[in-house]
Chain A
Amino acid sequence: MSAPIEMPKWADTILVPAISVVAAFLIAGLVVLSIGENPLTATRYLLQGSLGTGEGLGFTLFYATDFIFVGLAVAVAYHAGLFNIGGEGQATLAGLGIALALNNLTFLPGFLLIPVGILAAAAFGAAWAAVPGYLQAKRGSHIVITTIMFNWLASVLIVYLLVNVLREPQSMNPETRAFPEASHIPFMHEVFAWFGIAIPSSQLNLTLILALVSAYLIWLLIYRSRLGYAIRVVGSNPAAAVYAGISPARITVIAMVLSGALAGGLAVNELMGYQHRLLLEFTSGYGFVGIAVALMGRAHPVGIILASLLFGILYQGGAELAFEQPNITRDMVVVIGGIIILFAGALDGLFRRLVAHLLSRPKLAGA
C-alpha cells in the first residue's frame, strides 16, 4: 500500500466523495452535450421527475430501498476485505427463495407469510454467497472470480427454472403465479390511507422501513460489536487478526453470509413489495449499482443511505428524463454509475491527493 494521505476526517469522509460525484456529473454533462442535448434542461427534468411530485418522490424512495440493501451487502463484505460482486446472483437466488416459500407454504396462517418470505430471501441469498465465501476461506479461490461465475450460474438457473419448472402451464411468460395476497408487503400509500392520510400512489412499500432498520443494525454490528470489530480487523490486516485469535476463514464466511442475506433485500422490495411474482431479470443490474453506492458512501451505513437516495433520484429522474427527451435514455444512469465507481473507487487516490494538496497549501504559506 502507498503512504497514507494525511487530511482532516471531514475532508476524507465528505469532501472527497462529494468532489468525485461532482466530477462524475460534469463528465455526464459532457456526454449529454455531445449527443446534442442541453445538460441544464436535462438536470431540471431529472430533478422535477424524481423530487418534484409526490408520486416521483415515492418512486425515488422505492429505488433507494433497493440500493440501500445492495449497498449494505457490498459494504459488509468490503469491511472484511472481500469484494462481493455477486449481488446480482444472490438477489436472484433470494427471489427464488421467496417464490418457493410463498407459493408452497400457503397452509401457513397469512400473517406469517411476510416474515417467512423475508427469511427465505435472506437464507437463499446467504447460501449463494456462502459458497464463494467458503471457497475463498478454505481453498483460496479468488472471491471476485467465483462471485462473477455465481452471477452467471444464477442467471442460467433462474431461466431454466422459470421456463421449465415454475412457470404456470397456461402462461406464456416465464414467471411464477402470483404470490398469495397475504404475503404482499403493503404499499406506503395504503399504509397512509389506514390513518386517513392520502399520499400519491407509487411502488414505494414498507420494505423501505426494513432497509433503514437493516442499515441501523449493520451500523451497530460493524462499529459497536465484537463481531464487527473482528470483521474490520480481518479486512485491514488478516495477519494481525490471526495474532489476536480471530480466524480470518470464519470471518470471511460470516461476512459473505451477511452480505448475501442483505442482497436478498433487493428481492424482497422488488418481488414481495411490488411485482408479487417471480420473473426474469428483476434485479436489473442493481447489484452492480450497489458497488457504486458502497464506494460512494465510504462503506458506512449513513453514507450508503445518502448515496442510495442519490441513485434513487437518478433512476426515477432518469426515467422521466427519457420520457421528456428520448435521446437521453435511462442508460445515462448506468454511465453515471460507472463514472462514480471509477472516480470514488479506482481513482480515489487522485482525488484524495488533490484535496490533501489544496488543504495543505494555506498552512505552508502561513508557516
Chain B
Amino acid sequence: MDLGIIATVLDSALRLSIPLLAACLAGLWSERSGVVDIGLEGKMLVSAFAAAAAAYAFGSAWIGLASGIIASVAFGLVHGFASISQRGNQIVSGVAINMLAAGLTAIVGNAWYGQGGRTPPLEGVQRFDGILLGHSALVYIVLLAVPLTWFVLGRTRFGLRLRAVGENPAAVDTAGISVTGLRYAAVIIGGILCGIGGTYLSVGQAAGFLPNMTAGRGFIALAALIFAKWRAWPALGACFLFGLLDAIANQLQGLFIPGIGEVPVQAIQALPYLMTVILLAGVIGKAIPPRAAGVPYVKER
C-alpha cells in the first residue's frame, strides 16, 4: 500500500461519487418539497442515453448535456404530473419511470444503432475531457451544486418556501403561495441534476451508452440521501463515502483485514445498503424525512 494506490483510489472515488451526488441532490430537492422520488435511477438512465445519442449525432458533448437534461426533465414532469397534479401514488409513479426508462432506452438504442442497445463509441469533442486535475467540467458543475443547493434551500426565500411545502403545505397555501408551483419547480430542478448525472455517466466517465448502465446508482443515491438526512453538505459526504467504497471494491479485489481475513468484494458492495437499513432501523441516529414527503396535497375548499 503506497501513496500512489491511495491517490488512485481517492481519484476514482471522486469519479464514482459524482453521478451519485447529482442524483442524491436531485432527490434532495424533490423530497424536500414533498415529492418522493424513487425514479432517480430511471431519469439518470434516460438522460445517459439521450446525452450519448445527441453527442454522437451532433458531435458535441455540450449538446449531449442539453439533451440529457431535457430527457430527464421530461421524465421528471411525467412524475410531477402523476404525483402533483393527479395526486397519484408517488412510489408507483417512480417504479413506472424506472421501468419505462429501462425499456425505452434499450428499444430505441437497439432500433437506432443495432448494437444491442449500445450507442456508437464517442470520441474527441463528443466527450467531456478533463479540464482541471484530469476531471471534466461536469465534475465541477456537480460539486458546485452542493453549496448552491445549501445556499438556495437554506438562505433564500424560494428555498425556505420550498422546504415549508415539504413540511406543511397547508400553511404555505394559506400564505397564498402555490404549492403546485413550488413542487413542480423542485421536480424540474431534480430533473436537471439527474440529467447532469446521467450525462456524466455516458459522455464523461464512459464513452457511450450501455443498456442499464446506471446499474443501481439511483438507488445508492437514495440511500445516500437518507444517510445525509436530506441535507446538502452531508449528501456530499455520504456520496463520497459510497463512491470510496465502490473504488475500494474495484481496486482491491478482496480487502485483507488483519485478524478477520480476506473481505470479499461483495461485502464492501453491500455496505451502503446495509448501513442505510441500520440507519433506518434507528440503531445509530435517526433519519426523519420531510413530514409531507409522499403525501399529495389536496386543497381544502
With a CB–CB cut-off of 8 A, which chain A residues contact B82?
Answer: 342, 346-347
Which of B94-102, B167-175, B199-207 forms part of the interface with chain A?
B94-102
Contacts A331-B106, A342-B93, A345-B96; A156 near B266 (Cβ below 8 A): yes
With a CB–CB cut-off of 8 A, which chain B residues contact A337?
Answer: 99, 103
Say yes or no: is A114 at the interface (Cβ < 8 Å to chain B).
Answer: no
With a CB–CB cut-off of 8 A, which chain B residues contact A153?
Answer: 270, 273-274, 277
Say yes or no: is B131 at the interface (Cβ < 8 Å to chain A).
Answer: no
With a CB–CB cut-off of 8 A, which chain A residues contact B266?
Answer: 156-157, 159-160
Say yes or no: is B147 at the interface (Cβ < 8 Å to chain A).
Answer: no
Say yes or no: is A11 at the interface (Cβ < 8 Å to chain B).
Answer: no
Interface size class of A (residues with CB under 8 A): 35 or more
Residue contact B99 to A346, C-beta cutoff 8 Å: no
Say yes or no: is B78 at the interface (Cβ < 8 Å to chain A).
Answer: yes
What is the number of contacts between chain A and chain B, taking CB atoms within 8 Å? 152
Per-residue contact bits, chain A 323-336, to B (CB 8 Å; 1 contact, 0 not): 00001110111111
Could you tell me the distance between the alpha carbons of A142 and B38 in the complex, rounded to whole angstroms? 13
Chain A interface mostly helix, strand, loop or mixed? helix
With a CB–CB cut-off of 8 A, which chain B residues contact A345?
Answer: 88-89, 92-93, 95-96
A141's nearest neighbour on chain B, judged by CB, is B280
Residue contact A31 to B104, C-beta cutoff 8 Å: yes
Residue contact A142 to B289, C-beta cutoff 8 Å: yes
Say yes or no: is A233 at the interface (Cβ < 8 Å to chain B).
Answer: no
Say yes or no: is B264 at the interface (Cβ < 8 Å to chain A).
Answer: yes
Say yes or no: is A245 at the interface (Cβ < 8 Å to chain B).
Answer: no
Nearest-neighbour CB distance to chain B for A232, whole angstroms, equals 18
A-facing residues in B180-236 (Cβ within 8 Å): 216, 219, 222-223, 226
Residue contact B280 to A146, C-beta cutoff 8 Å: yes
Could you tell me the distance between the alpha carbons of A292 and B103 in the complex, rounded to whole angstroms? 14
B267's nearest neighbour on chain A, judged by CB, is A160
A-B contacts besides A85-B91, A329-B106, A347-B81, 20 pairs, CB < 8 Å: A36-B111, A83-B91, A141-B280, A152-B270, A153-B274, A156-B269, A157-B270, A160-B266, A160-B267, A329-B110, A335-B99, A335-B107, A338-B97, A341-B96, A345-B89, A345-B96, A346-B86, A346-B89, A346-B96, A349-B88
What are 14 A-B contacts with C-beta separation under 8 Å? A141-B277, A142-B280, A145-B223, A148-B38, A152-B216, A156-B269, A156-B270, A160-B264, A327-B111, A334-B99, A335-B103, A338-B97, A341-B95, A347-B86
